[in-house]
Amino acid sequence: MKYHIISVLVIFALMLIFPNIQNSFGHGLGTETMPPVMIDDVESTLQVASTTSPDTGVRQITISLFETESSDAISNVSFEVVLIKNDQQLFKNNFERDDGILIMNLVPSDDSNVEIINQETIASFLGLASDQFNLKGNVFENGGLYKFTVKILTVNNYDSLLSEPVEYELGISIPETTYYEINDRNFGKQELGMITYFDQLTEFNYDQTNKQIKFSFPFDWDQKTIDQTTVIHEEVVIPKTFGDLLASSFTSSLNGIALPEAAINIDDFSGEKRTIHLVVTQSELQEIFSKNNFEADEVIIKIKPAKDDHTLSGVTENGQFKIKLWWEDEIRSNANVRLGFDVLDTFLKDRPISVVYELSLFSDQREILKKSGISTGLKTQSDGLEFFIPEDVSGILIVKFENLGGNKLANVEFPLVINRISSESTIPAWIKNNAGWWADGQIPDSTFVQGIQFLIKEGIIIIPPTEQEASSESTIPAWIKNNAGWWADGQIPDSTFVQGIQFLIKEGIIKAR
């Protein structure tokens, strides 16, 4: 007889967001109970639980066999356990447990092979708890999907083998977090985190042009795997300094099949980072499997902002208010821009609310505008702000909302891009090389200036029409050279570098052509 299960561990916040997902627990705890079966004329139940030590991070797996009706432990149980990860058998071992409880600790170590060590605890020595077994190996340094095959060989008497062993297939999914650094042309270096609750990722990619996150992991597209998979849960962790991924809504797909809107949930209640939860239920997987024939044994997920209308959203530090912020056209220097925004009450299911607020705009830590007001609180009318961006302001513009409702903790901010660098106007790699060599003193000012004039000629750097050219007899400031070095090293975004070049043009230090 075989019984199949997969236990996916989901954080506590997800319980609140998706209350219908079964067997999801907070604080890294997952428990699953097998259907009762008859073993040696006794209706018996096997239960598997998984916990993580908050101090050591060691994952503990507990497998127990007990009588279904009385919940009494079954004695003298012989377990045969096989552990498989990434289609590789890590070990096969027999365990004899007098109390029917098998406790295994997955301990990271430098060993390439898994070593099994019997660990007697003080409680087990006193007869108050079962012994534990430490499974040590470098494979446990990473999370992912651990597959256990568990056979019950004996019950009540070690010397009496069951005529037909009872076999279970268990999947324990240990969450794994991996960070990927990208160098965005507008927002500079950003770290995107991936938390997978299913299996280790085999690919991760961020497409700047489409603002699309793509990742994949192994998955056997067969009925057995679908039956074992309660849910696929993945999380994307985004720094709140990355404006392009602070969109108010996202679309997602699995192997090219569009997922329902409910598959995505945005958590902005986590301080300096936002978390995008993607959850695909078993019924959704079954429907996808029934209607499609995938050749590759993998799942490919794509997530990107749902709209291209520049709508961002964020939640205040105290979690009370949500701000939706939008604008129509690209934001540019020496031009007017209008921002629209709604103030919503998160405790009232994002209902518009009328509260006092303070709104400030910052560029390079310099305040360029500040106003206060009272939001409309109407669904039919949004608030807005129209202002002029000076010609010397470029790069990142911080829009900061503060003291909503008079609460000092009700603050949230958004980074916007002035003079966005699009994919069509990407600065060539040789220009970045030139900047690094120039910052190191390996090429003269004239060679660097020639590269800049190329950018202007090709329309990669936009010079506002009101600026006048002058002779290039002035000395290039030292901070421009510092910027060039930092930009070449990827420490500042293209937009900040371009802002410095625009300053040189405005001041007549270099000629536009």
In contact, 213 and 247? CB cutoff 8 Å: no
Indicate if 372 and 475 belong to the same structural domain: no
Same domain assignment for residues 295 and 345: no
184 membership: H or E segment, kind and range: strand 176-184
Residue 462 pLDDT: 62
Residues 209 and 226 in one domain: yes
Separation CA 37–CA 165 (nearest Å): 12
Percent of the chain with pLDDT over 70: 87
**Distance between CA atoms of 341 and 383, rounded to whole angstroms?**
5
Same domain, 147 and 36: yes
**392 — pLDDT class (breaks 50, 70, 90):** confident
Establish if 474 belongs to a structural domain.
yes
Which residue among 140, 156, 172 closes a domain?
172
- Confidence at 54, pLDDT banded by 50, 70, 90: low
- pLDDT at position 8, please? 36
Identify the domain boundary among 133, 151, 172: 172
Is residue 33 predicted with pLDDT exceeding 50? yes
Question: Do 80 and 194 belong to one domain?
Answer: no
511 domain-assigned: no
Element (H, E) at 292: none
The answer to the question of residue 312 being in a domain is: no
Please tell me the total count of domains within the chain. 4
Q: Is residue 209 a part of any domain in this protein? A: yes
- What is the distance between the alpha carbons of residues 195 and 268, in angstroms, rounded to a whole number? 16
d(CA 250, CA 278): 10
CATH number at residue 135: 2.60.40
pLDDT of residue 356: 97
Averaged pLDDT score across all residues of the chain:
84
Is residue 285 exposed (0-12), middle (13-18) or buried (19+ Cβ within 10 Å)?
A: buried
Question: Counting Cβ atoms within 10 Å, is residue 17 exposed (0-12), middle (13-18) or buried (19+)?
Answer: middle
Same domain for 166 and 45:
yes
- pLDDT above 90: residue 421: no
Q: 403: domain CATH number?
A: 2.60.40.1940
Cα 463 to chain centroid distance, Å, stands at: 37
Name the pTM for this structure.
0.68
End of a domain among 274, 305, 336?
305
Tens digits of per-residue pLDDT, 165-220?
A: 999 988 777 788 899 999 888 898 899 999 988 778 889 999 988 899 999 998 99
Residues 298 and 328 placed together within one structural domain of the fold: no
Q: Does one domain contain both 136 and 233? A: no
Let me know whether 255 and 393 are in one domain: no
Q: Are residues 97 and 187 in the same domain?
A: no
Residue the block writes with tokens 């268990």: 170
Q: Is residue 16 part of a domain?
A: yes
| Domain span including residue 77 | 2-172
CA distance 193 to 236: 6
Residues 114 and 247 in one domain: no
Residues 50 and 117 in one domain: yes
